[in-house]
Amino acid sequence: AQTVTQSQPEMSVQEAETVTLSCTYDTSENNYYLFWYKQPPSRQMILVIRQEAYKQQNATENRFSVNFQKAAKSFSLKISDSQLGDTAMYFCAFMKGGGSNYKLTFGKGTLLTVNP
């Protein structure tokens, strides 16, 4: 079974600075997908970024980028120019590739607070 570990329960950053959230996972699969979701106080789960394991290039979405280290099974999220609206819980998630099993396995989350 796959496991996803987020070792930082809470983090804080000053507005406009850069912060990196850590995520590691354990799997014997070679083909898989990784995701970061954001859950602000409104409770809505919002997809931030997605990475395909067979792509070496790190995914980027505006101020959000990932550092995907497949051999180390590490998938960290970097948020540049942090904004107050980035305050939220951030969840790392894993999905097996191949077949038709589309289950997302989530980590426990990291609560990020952006301070003015």
Task: With H, G, I as helix, E, B as strand and everything else as coil, classify residue 58.
Answer: coil
Least distance (Å) from another protein to the CB of residue 65?
17
- How far is it, in rounded angstroms, from Cα 84 to Cα 72? 32
Among 42, 56, 57, 71, binds another protein (CB under 8 A): 42
Least distance (Å) from another protein to the CB of residue 104?
7
Please report which helix (H) or strand (E) contains residue 102, including its range. Answer: none
Residues in region 51-90 near another protein by CB under 8 A: none
- How far is it, in rounded angstroms, from Cα 49 to Cα 54? 16
Judge whether 105 and 40 are in contact, CB under 8 Å: no
Among 15, 54, 55, 97, binds another protein (CB under 8 A): 97
Least distance (Å) from another protein to the CB of residue 99?
10
Please report the sign of the dihedral spanned by the C-alpha atoms of residue 75, residue 29, residue 48, residue 87. negative
Task: With H, G, I as helix, E, B as strand and everything else as coil, classify residue 46.
Answer: strand
Q: Which of residues 17 and 29 has its CB atom nearest to another protein in the complex? A: 29
- Residue 5 binds another protein, judged by CB under 8 A: no
- Residue 9 binds another protein, judged by CB under 8 A: no
